Amino acid sequence: MAKIFVSYKYGDNQVHQELDQKYWAVETNPLTGKEERINEATGRGYANRIEEIIGKDNIYKGESDREDLKGKTEEQIWEILKPKVHDSTVTLVVISRGMKDISESEGEQWIPNEIRYSLWEVERGERTSATNALLGVIIPDRDGSYGYIWGSSSCEHCKNIRMFQKDNQHLFRILGQNIFNKKEDDGQKCPGLSCGTRIFTGDHSYLHLVNFDEFISNPNTHIEKALEIQGKVGEYGVEKTI
C-alpha cells in the first residue's frame, strides 16, 4: 500500500451528517481536560473514516483542531508540513463544500499549502521526493448531494457525462488548475448541434476525482488510478503553486 497524506478541512460541517458518530472528531474539553466527541460530522470525521479504510500504518493526516497558519512564514509552514508530506506518495484531498474559507487568502489555509508541498520535488537527506499522485475524494454536502462539484447538461448527447468547471468556487485554485491539464488533450466537441460542450474522457486530469461512496466501495482502485496517472506525470502541466 502506498503512503497516503490526507489533506482535509478539520471543522467543515457542511458535510452529510449521516456518517456514523463513532467517526466524529474527538477534542479535549478545556474546562475538564477530558476528551469528548463533538456533536456533528465534519471533515475530520470523514478523514477518520478514510483512515479506517486505508489503515493507520498507511496514512498521515494533516490539519488538527487548533492549528493556525496566520502569521507564519513560508519557511515555518514548510517545517511543519515537511515530515508528513515528504514520506508520502499520494496526496488524498477530502473535498468538502465548506473546505475553502473565502475570507482568508489561500496561502493562509492548510489544504493548498499541503497540496503544493506534496507536489514539489524536494531533497531531504540522500533522497529526493517525487511529485505525489493527487486524488480528490468528494464528500456529499449536508443534503447528501455532490452537485456542488458536478454539473449537468440538458443535451441528449452529453447529459449522462459528469460536467465540471475549472473555476468551481468551492475548490482551491491548485485543485482547479490540476483538472483538464493533460498537455495533449483538448477534449472533443459534443455532437449535439446546439450544445458545443467540450467533452473530456479518460485520464484528462492529474487530479483524479471520485465521489466518497465510490471510493469507500473500492479504495484501492482509485489509489492505483492516481498512481497510474502519477507514472505519466510528464504528460501533464502540473500546477504546484498557490
Side chain identity, residue 139: I
pLDDT digits (tens, 9 = 90+) for 182-212: 998 877 777 776 787 777 778 999 999 999 9
Is residue 139 classed exposed, middle or buried when 0-12, 13-18 and 19+ CB atoms within 10 A define those classes? buried
Q: Whole-angstrom Cα distance, residue 229 to residue 235?
A: 9
Q: Whole-angstrom Cα distance, residue 56 to residue 59?
A: 5
E strand or H helix at 86: helix 74-86
pLDDT digits (tens, 9 = 90+) for 28-76: 888 888 888 999 999 999 999 999 999 988 887 766 655 655 666 667 7
DSSP 8-state assignment for residue 151: B
Q: What pLDDT, on a 0 to 100 scale, did the predictor assign at position 33? A: 83
Is residue 134 classed exposed, middle or buried when 0-12, 13-18 and 19+ CB atoms within 10 A define those classes? buried
Cell of 226: 492516481
> Of the candidates 4, 22, 2, which has an alpha carbon nearest to the alpha carbon of residue 136?
4
Q: What pLDDT, on a 0 to 100 scale, did the predictor assign at position 67? A: 61
Mean pLDDT of the chain: 87
What's the Cα-to-Cα distance from 212 to each of 77, 94, 209, rounded to whole Å? 29, 9, 10
**Pick the residue with more confidence: 58 or 4?**
4
Task: Give the global pTM.
Answer: 0.89
State yes or no: pLDDT of 134 exceeds 80.
yes
**Who contacts 152 (Cβ-Cβ below 8 Å, separation ≥6)?**
159, 163
| 36 torsion bin: left (phi>0), alpha (psi -120 to 50), beta (else) | beta
pLDDT digits (tens, 9 = 90+) for 91-106: 999 999 999 999 999 9
Query: What are phi and psi for residue 230, nearest 5 degrees?
Result: -60, -35
pLDDT digits (tens, 9 = 90+) for 160-180: 777 777 678 999 999 999 999
User: What confidence category does residue 126 fall into, taking pLDDT thresholds of 50, 70 and 90?
Assistant: low
Name the one residue in this structure whose C-alpha cell is 473555476.
167
E strand or H helix at 28: strand 26-28
> Of the candidates 57, 134, 54, 133, which has an alpha carbon nearest to the alpha carbon of residue 93?
134
Q: Whole-angstrom Cα distance, residue 242 to residue 240?
A: 7
